[in-house]
A and B are shown apart, each in its own frame.
Chain A
Amino acid sequence: MSYDFNSMAFLVVDDFALIRDFHRGLVRSLGFQTVTVADNGLDALKHLANRHFDVVLCDYYLGDGKDGQQVLEEAKYRGLLPQSSVFIMVTMEQLLAQAMAVIEHRPDGYLVKPVVQEVLVHRLTQALDRRRHLERVNQAIKNDRLEDALSLCGRLMESEPRFATDLMEIKTSLLIELKRFDEADRLLDSLLAKRTFPWALFFKGKVLFLREDFKEAGRYFLQLVKANTHYLESFDWLAEVQVRLGEPKKAQGILQRALEVSPKSVVRQRRLAELALVNEDLVTAEAALRAAIREGRHSCFASAAEYAMLSKLLLDDGRSAKAVKYLAEGQKVFSRTSADRVAVMITQATVYDVRGEWTRTRDTVKFLWRDYPQVRRGLPAHVKLELARLCAVVKLPLEAAQVLEDVRYYHAEDAPAVQQADVLAATLALPKG
């Protein structure tokens, strides 16, 4: 079908002024009245947050800042792209951009420069058609009506067979979400018996992982990364497979390889740091945390965790002034949610305690205590144990007892943690249970 471009809002993103102007002219000549331009990823996200856009034409390479794929991922994560909008990636080289795209965050299409009017209109129409047909499925998923989404997929496969690959992918991920692993398995096996579909291999690995058959899952992810060293998502899963198989060193090596290809992912840097800490590789952990903080300064994927971990690491290394600096920054950035605030402030209290600043330690603990009731469920056991210890140090025995009780209640299945709570309660001469 043909669309009325008149009423649609268009966003052009390119770091190169000449191309930006040209694309704007091209888009205007197609009848789009509202055409906004951005010269970098951050700017693009600002525009996307401010108003609804029907079409985004974004260059993959955007200079030193975020690349096009990161813009797409952040926009999706933050809900800035409506279900009906299309995102088209412009590249000089489609191969790499395509391989790096995360399965759930693929653009609606790729265009190779130079963008020619006839091809742009064609691709745009195709993408809008696809969006229009898949909109009800996506809407159902968004509203958590997964069974409905599944039956809609089935019906669309009959009426719109040309979207079969998209529908198969959505169907598989829905089956996985609904934990109907047998069905997902059968579907994937029947597809893979005919051809090697990279996306089907990926989902096959995911199903096996969720069924806790880590060895088999590893085989699939390994096959993917061997065939294509740019399937970064498969590296992430392969690393988690190694963690589950009790091989954190191997897991660390795998993530390091993925980060060599693409060092900008905050989430991956943070995960690398966690694994390096497990492996007691403090050099790698520190570098990864610094990278996570650096890349996270303009990313919605940043968390308080990297600030807390880096400060703790610096503190253990005797660099407490640096630790305080990062904590201050972390606190400034993460004052929005109580969970983030508490995570950062517990580390801060630890810093004051190590430096022997008793009053400051006590003030910090008292301050964070106001947020504690809202976050107690989600706070990891080891953080709770540290908080309990701090409460005892600053002579808040009732609070310490409360936290230890929470460890026993919320982490009942974590035997070592419960045991530590009991030991701590005994040494602090606190009432048990």
Chain B
Amino acid sequence: MADEPVTIEVSKVIAGAVHDIKNSLGALASHLYWLSQELKQLQNESLTKRVYDLEYESRRINNDLVRLLTLYRLSDHAYSVDPRLQYLPEFLEELGLEHQRLLAARGIAIETDCPDGLSWYFDRHLVSVALANAINNAYRYARARVRVSAAEEEGILALRVEDDGPGFPASSLEALREIAEHHYSEAHSSTRFGLYFAQTVAALHRADGRGGYIAIGNGGAFGGGVLTIYLP
């Protein structure tokens, strides 16, 4: 046999493996959810809390993988942005409901805020994955409060996640500046990946020739980190 170069279909192999891991994690998160429900009935608080922590970790990894897979599908033309009119009070309510239980176990209250009747066109799946990541971070860093809000600002929708934690470090602000300049360094940082995903999702939303973008900063309503996704 001649020396044939071995080709390795890296991206497809990784995508397949990620999909498989994600399924397992989904099952794991389901088991943990049911376990926590049963423990709650037995009124074993300390165990319930520990199971909540486990469930949180599995959901966090799950969200990481969903973002990875979503980026892969988008780059492989296996998904394209599907903007549909979303009614924001309803969208935020569901987001709050999804995270409230785990956040409450950590003593963190989640609140949502949005003008009555506000609606906007965006891809519900992509935007909720990006926001879920920001809320998951709040689970780690917030002290007692996290707020998700939506408002129209100068003809653009601003979706904001704010908490009362220590805020973004200077390195995150630097990371976002690099991402905005289309430069993705390989430095290990979950924040960087989260920001990259949110920025990509925002940029994929286009209207009237403009694309969306994100901004991060410190201060806001509760004096902690503030992430804003702007969608045209």
20 pairs across A/B with beta carbons < 8 Å?
A22-B30, A22-B34, A92-B22, A93-B66, A95-B69, A95-B79, A98-B125, A110-B125, A114-B26, A116-B33, A119-B97, A163-B85, A194-B207, A195-B206, A196-B81, A198-B82, A226-B77, A227-B77, A228-B77, A230-B79
With A96-B78, A198-B82, A226-B77: A162-B87 Cβ-Cβ less than 8 Å: yes
Residues on B with C-beta less than 8 A from A118 are 97-98, 100-101
CB distance from B41 to the nearest CB of A (A): 11
Question: A118 vs B99: C-alpha distance in the bound complex, in angstroms?
Answer: 10
Query: Are B98 and A116 within 8 A (Cβ)?
Result: yes
Residue B140 CB within 8 A of the other chain: no
With A113-B29, A118-B97: A93-B19 Cβ-Cβ less than 8 Å: yes
Query: Are A114 and B33 within 8 A (Cβ)?
Result: yes
Query: Are B22 and A93 within 8 A (Cβ)?
Result: yes
Query: Are B90 and A162 within 8 A (Cβ)?
Result: yes
Supply 20 further A-B pairs (C-beta < 8 A) apart from A94-B125, A162-B87: A93-B19, A93-B22, A95-B69, A95-B79, A96-B78, A113-B27, A116-B33, A118-B98, A119-B94, A119-B98, A122-B93, A122-B97, A161-B117, A163-B85, A165-B85, A195-B206, A197-B82, A197-B83, A198-B80, A228-B77
Residue A229 CB within 8 A of the other chain: yes
Give the top 9 A-B pairs by smallest Cβ distance, nearest first: A114-B30, A162-B87, A227-B80, A118-B97, A228-B80, A165-B84, A165-B85, A113-B26, A164-B85
The 0/1 profile, CB within 8 Å of B marked 1, for residues 102-131 of chain A is 000000001011111011001100100000
Of A113, A195, A196, the residue contacting B30 (CB under 8 A) is A113
CB distance from A20 to the nearest CB of B (A): 12
Question: A230 vs B78: C-alpha distance in the bound complex, in angstroms?
Answer: 6
CB distance from A404 to the nearest CB of B (A): 52
Residues on A with C-beta less than 8 A from B44 are none
Residue B23 CB within 8 A of the other chain: yes
With A116-B33, A226-B77: A195-B82 Cβ-Cβ less than 8 Å: no
CB distance from A168 to the nearest CB of B (A): 8
> Which residue of A92, A115, A123 has the most chain B CB atoms within 10 A of its CB atom?
A92
Residues on B with C-beta less than 8 A from A195 are 83, 121, 206-207
| A19, closest chain B residue (CB) | B30
Residue A333 CB within 8 A of the other chain: no
Residues of B at the A interface (CB closer than 8 Å) are 19, 22-23, 26-27, 29-30, 33-34, 66, 69-70, 73, 76-85, 87, 90, 93-94, 97-98, 100-101, 117, 119, 121, 125, 206-208
CB distance from B65 to the nearest CB of A (A): 10
> Which residue of A94, A126, A161, A199 has the most chain B CB atoms within 10 A of its CB atom?
A94
Query: Are A92 and B26 within 8 A (Cβ)?
Result: yes
CB distance from A190 to the nearest CB of B (A): 13
Residue A42 CB within 8 A of the other chain: no
Chain B interface mostly = helix
Residues on B with C-beta less than 8 A from A196 are 81, 83, 206
CB distance from A256 to the nearest CB of B (A): 18
Question: A162 vs B206: C-alpha distance in the bound complex, in angstroms?
Answer: 21
Question: A230 vs B98: C-alpha distance in the bound complex, in angstroms?
Answer: 29
Query: Are A99 and B29 within 8 A (Cβ)?
Result: no
Residues of A at the B interface (CB closer than 8 Å) are 19, 22, 92-96, 98-99, 110, 112-116, 118-119, 122-123, 126, 161-165, 194-199, 226-230
Residues on A with C-beta less than 8 A from B101 are 116, 118
Residues on B with C-beta less than 8 A from A96 are 73, 78-79
| B58, closest chain A residue (CB) | A114
With A95-B78, A162-B90, A226-B77: A194-B208 Cβ-Cβ less than 8 Å: yes
| A113, closest chain B residue (CB) | B26
Residues on A with C-beta less than 8 A from B19 are 93
Residues on B with C-beta less than 8 A from A123 are 94
| B89, closest chain A residue (CB) | A162
| A163, closest chain B residue (CB) | B85
Question: A228 vs B82: C-alpha distance in the bound complex, in angstroms?
Answer: 11
CB distance from B18 to the nearest CB of A (A): 10
Question: A256 vs B33: C-alpha distance in the bound complex, in angstroms?
Answer: 42
Residues on B with C-beta less than 8 A from A95 are 69-70, 73, 78-79, 125
Residues on A with C-beta less than 8 A from B100 are 118
Question: A155 vs B208: C-alpha distance in the bound complex, in angstroms?
Answer: 27
Question: A355 vs B34: C-alpha distance in the bound complex, in angstroms?
Answer: 66
> Which residue of B23, B79, B93, B207 has the most chain A CB atoms within 10 A of its CB atom?
B79
Query: Are A99 and B79 within 8 A (Cβ)?
Result: yes
Of B27, B79, B98, the residue contacting A228 (CB under 8 A) is B79
Residues on A with C-beta less than 8 A from B125 are 94-95, 98, 110
Residues on B with C-beta less than 8 A from A165 are 84-85, 121
CB distance from A120 to the nearest CB of B (A): 10
Question: A196 vs B84: C-alpha distance in the bound complex, in angstroms?
Answer: 10
Question: A337 vs B19: C-alpha distance in the bound complex, in angstroms?
Answer: 45
Question: A23 vs B158: C-alpha distance in the bound complex, in angstroms?
Answer: 36
Residues on B with C-beta less than 8 A from A194 are 207-208
CB distance from A156 to the nearest CB of B (A): 13
Residues on A with C-beta less than 8 A from B27 are 113
Of B73, B94, B207, the residue contacting A122 (CB under 8 A) is B94
Question: A119 vs B73: C-alpha distance in the bound complex, in angstroms?
Answer: 26
| A197, closest chain B residue (CB) | B83
Question: A226 vs B79: C-alpha distance in the bound complex, in angstroms?
Answer: 10
Of A92, A110, A119, A162, the residue contacting B85 (CB under 8 A) is A162
Question: A167 vs B79: C-alpha distance in the bound complex, in angstroms?
Answer: 24
| A118, closest chain B residue (CB) | B97
Question: A275 vs B20: C-alpha distance in the bound complex, in angstroms?
Answer: 37
CB distance from A111 to the nearest CB of B (A): 10
Residues on B with C-beta less than 8 A from A22 are 30, 34
Residues on A with C-beta less than 8 A from B76 are 229
Residues on A with C-beta less than 8 A from B85 are 162-165
Question: A114 vs B29: C-alpha distance in the bound complex, in angstroms?
Answer: 6
Residues on B with C-beta less than 8 A from A112 are 26
Residues on B with C-beta less than 8 A from A199 are 82
